[in-house]
Amino acid sequence: MNNSEIDKAVVILKRGGLVAFPTETVYGLGADAGNPAAIKKLYGVKGRPAGHPVIVHLADMAQVPQWAREVTPAAQKLARKFWPGPLTLILRRAPGVSDAITGGQDAVGLRIPSHPVAHELLDKFGGGIAAPSANRFGHVSATTAEHVRQEFGDSIDLVLDGGQSDVGIESTIVDVTGEQPALLRPGHISAREIEQTIDAPVAAPHGASPRAPGTLAVHYAPRTPLMVMEGDLLLELATSLTRQDKRVAVLTRSLLQPMLSGLTWTAAPRDAAAYAHDLYANLRTLDAAGCDAILVERLPQQPEWAAVNDRLDRAAGSRQP
Ligand code: TXA
Ligand code: MG
């Protein structure tokens, strides 16, 4: 990445344009968080309904008071431990933070990413960059610059290419506006690490939590119908579907590929972090194969799998085998 690309990105953002940029989790589609017209454009391109809040990305802690009026002791501990990194904190918004950012709520989502390109962009821009994941609403997130171009083509001004995102799934979101912190979205930083850091339990989202519409039942979804199931059932279903001349895409960690025609087969990593790293690229490849269904082998239920299980459940929506 050369500096002039980042300088160009800064100029585009200052003029109210849209720039996609790499972060360690997934690529973000960025707009000037202080420019409501730019945010409106962002929502239009993404196809995101108004009223959804968006995360504001910052270069460093010194900028937090411009966006949040209260940083609780738990929030401070989390920020100190995990920023820069794959954590989003939901805090009470500062006066003047627009409804376009917060979805009309009293809370704002903040994150200081660690990816060097994101950091340099934020540092040179100097303000907050509002950035949802760089994918069309409800679709699979992007973990490479090429994925972003597939999603948006010419409808955005620039894509900064920073290689493949390390983590591969979106940040852990913790609501620290209330008495007890709540986990709104699981991610690479686990609930256990959060609890150890604040030395207190984290709650599941509760009635008083700010709405996090990215946690809708169907999200992160390929266009091909996707189902998650045990390996033996998967093999049975793949056999019967291919016998009916259907084309079937499979994502598995442990199964051996059977000799069936009409199968597109992807062997995913055994390890949870590596599985997450490859997840969206694998889903995009399987989706592009033009099959009638994507069958995903069910994953272990241990805590280290919580975030990928969450994403796969949402990719499947209500579809059950
Ligand atoms: O890793 C990530 O978080 C990526 C990268 C680009 O930083 N961003 C991302 O943004 O995943 P997005 O918009 O796709 O998902 C952000 C989630 C949404 O579910 C949104 O509802 C929630 O964060 N969120 C943002 N601001 C919020 C707020 N003020 N209150 C409650 N939820 C909020
Ligand atoms: Mg998203």
Provide the pLDDT for residue 280. Answer: 97
Contact 242, 295 (CB under 8 A): no
Cα(6) to centroid of ligand 1, in Å? 23
The residue with greater pLDDT, 212 or 32, is 32
Residue 104 CA to residue 128 CA, distance in Å, equals 18
- Model confidence pLDDT, tens digit, residues 229-264: 999 999 999 999 999 999 999 999 999 999 999 999
Provide the pLDDT for residue 207. Answer: 64
Instruction: Identify the CA nearest to 124 among candidates 5, 7, 1, 2.
Output: 7
Neighbour tally for 245: CB within 10 Å: 9
Whats the size of the chain, residue-wise? 321
Ligand 1 neighbours (beta carbon < 6 A): 23, 25-26, 28, 52-55, 88, 90, 102, 105, 107-109, 111, 131-133, 170-171, 173, 210-215
Closest ligand 1 atom to Cα of 214: 19
Instruction: Provide the whole-model pTM.
Output: 0.95
Model confidence at 174, pLDDT cuts 50, 70, 90, reads very high
- Model confidence pLDDT, tens digit, residues 121-169: 999 999 999 999 999 999 999 999 999 999 999 999 999 999 999 999 9
Compute CA distances 227 → 176, 237, 296, whole Å. 34, 11, 6
Does the pLDDT value for residue 217 go beyond 80? no
Residue 84 CA to residue 61 CA, distance in Å, equals 9
